[in-house]
Amino acid sequence: MRSPSLIIATMIASSVLAISGAAPAGQSATTPAQVTRADELRGGYDRYRANNDLLHYALTVRVDPERKFISGRNRVRFTMLADDTRIRLDLYANLSVDRILHGDVPLKYEREFNAVFIDFPETLKQGRTYEIDFHYSGTPLETGRFGGIAFRKDPAGRHWINTACEGEGSSIWWPSKDQWRDEATSMDLSVEIPNALVDVSNGRFIGKTNLGDGYTRWNWTIHYPINSYNVSLNIGAYEHFGETMGDLTLDYYVLPESLSKARVQFAQAKPMIEAFNHYFGEYPFEEDGYKLIEVPYSGMEHQSAVTYGNRFANGYLERDWTGVGISTRFDFIIVHESAHEWFGNAVSAADVSDMWIQEGWATYLECLYVERLFGYADGLKYTNAYKTKIRNASPIITERGLHHTPPQDMYFKGALFLHTLRSVVNDDTVWWSLIRDFYQANKYKNIMTEDVVAFFNARLQRDLTPLFNQYLRRTAVPTLELEFNAADGDVRYRWTADEPDFNMPIKVGRADAWQLITPTTKWQTLKTSTSNDDFQVATDLYYVTVKRSESADALEMPINGMKERFR
């Protein structure tokens, strides 16, 4: 449960968008022929998802590494938002539904692809709370970039099992309400594994119990709302060490062979947390603590249990990620995946179509981290280096209700859009307060892009909607057209953009005496004593392109992230 009112509001907004049917010019839309019933079930927030509000999960799962087999029970507590006789949960079709109980009463159910529609013999009443036990078992699929749930061996030949299922969905390994809008407000997680292994999961470790059959149950309690894909199993021969930051515990779990390297590399966790605390406020999951857990893939932002596979080296997989000599000064995975604790886990997108709220903001937090630790100039250099990664092939907000993952531009273009907004605000005192207050106002909520726009518009008392639309819902980057007239000593200027009302201030002239202009999509004229050769645009402060013309000649200037001279 994040907010029933938000869930209802986003349902209405999605319905309006569906009725309108048309995407703005420059925005790609999925055609009906491309949409399958499985797509609709995966991404839609249908009646039987929307009629209830999650309160709590109590998941017990037994993992058999030799057979690659899982079995368990999820006790699901929920409140009805409307009278009904059916609700919906999800479980991949290859896994068996063993039984579903309401108290001692077996419930009937129907399956369609990965959806499980659960029927009750009597009407469930609005406002009342109910609880069911969902028993299941089977051999889960190993699929997707990180495996979904993967049964591997570590370099020493020991069992090493991990879950990472943001794209595949939580129902690949446990029965859940597998969507992004509604989250359980808390969760208990018990993981039964062979005695020789250790499980590290989300939340606070409560204790372990030897079950007497060769298995030990590891118990974790999650005290905060959590998205189902964030629920994580990490099972292996883990060793533990830790430290504290005031009342916050920092716990690290690595393979025995990695201990010495981890003690050195994980020293970066504290200054990273201190940097994000500075900008946004205290770490959002203090009761559950912060964890870094070694895994055999690059990493993932599992809430309070960040997974790490970056080879205990700076950069990203030992590469200079942004190519300007800065990302080699810090561990990219520690910084980026942990940034998601603030944006992704505390502030979450309510639909995958708005995933830029998670990935664009987390990438921007990387830039703020660099600025905080290494200074403004390096922060600017690091941020602008992301321009080379942007493709601008499609909008970064995808069609809602289909669970189509946005393009990778959601990371880089999303971050550069926020960087651009900072320059639009043009007052760092206001900007730092704005983004901190935005985070605090939306902490532990699931939000849509419309919520971001509304907050920024209200706080700044200006309509930034055309800017959000151009950068997030359109493909093209706004182009500043400049037309020089040497005889009259002026330059005409305007924006070329898909949004007809696009108007964005930008700094031009000379770097030692910038002049702020506010172009629109209509021509304006600026008197200038600066010669054509010396006229600059502060393209390191904005993500734009610039097109210059003089007389009949026009030249499209390449933008590499630094101030652009016209020659």
**Separation of alpha carbons 473 and 495, rounded Å:** 17
Which pLDDT does position 532 carry in this prediction? 77
What contacts 265, CB < 8 A, 6 or more positions away? 312, 313, 331, 334
Neighbours of 149 (CB within 10 A): 23
What are the tens digits of pLDDT across the range 431-451? 999 999 999 999 999 999 999
Question: Tokens representing 505?
Answer: 């201030």
Burial of 416-426, coded b for 16+ CB within 10 Å and e otherwise, reads bbbbbbbbbbe
Q: With both helix axes pointing from N to C terminus, report the angle between 409-425 and 356-374 in degrees, rounded to the nearest 10.
A: 60
How far is C-alpha 507 from the geometric centre of its chain's CA atoms?
Answer: 31
Phi, psi for 448 (deg, rounded to 5):
-115, 170
CA distances in angstroms from 360 to 94, 311, 432, 446, listed in the order given: 34, 25, 17, 16
Give CA–CA dist 358/346, Å, rounded.
10
Q: What order do you get walking across the sheet with 148-153 strand by strand?
A: 148-153, 159-164, 234-236, 198-199
User: Dmax of the chain from CA atoms?
Assistant: 92
185, 177 contact by CB (below 8 A): no
Report percent pLDDT > 90 for the chain.
Answer: 88
- When pLDDT is cut at 50, 70 and 90, the band that residue 531 belongs to is confident
Q: What would you report as the CA-atom Rg of the chain, rounded to the nearest whole angstrom?
A: 26
> Tens digits of per-residue pLDDT, 185-199?
999 999 999 999 999
The reply to whether the predicted model has a pTM over 0.85 is yes
Can you state the angle between helices 332-339 and 269-280, rounded to 10 degrees? 40
Sign, Cα dihedral of 274, 275, 276, 277? positive
Q: Rounded to whole angstroms, what are the CA distances from 379 to 74, 357, 366, 376, 506?
A: 45, 21, 9, 5, 20
Contact status, residue 89 vs residue 109, Cβ threshold 8 Å: no
Return the percent helix, strand and coil in the chain, to nearest 5. Answer: 30, 35, 40
Distance of CA 11 to the CA centre of its chain: 20
**29 pLDDT above the threshold of 80:** no
Q: Does the pLDDT value for residue 26 go beyond 50? A: no
DSSP structural state of residue 343: B
pLDDT at 559 over 50: no
Check whether 8 has a pLDDT greater than 70.
no
| Beta carbons within 8 Å of 104's beta carbon, 6+ residues apart | none
Residues paired with 89 in a beta bridge: 116
Place of tokens 């400049």: 482
pLDDT for 2? 57
For residue 10, name the pLDDT band (cuts at 50, 70, 90). Answer: very low
Q: What distances in angstroms separate CA 237 from CA 164, 254, 297, 308, 534, one per listed residue? A: 19, 8, 16, 15, 63
Distance CA 50, CA 140 (A): 27
* CA angle centred on 13, ends 7 and 15, rounded to 5°: 100
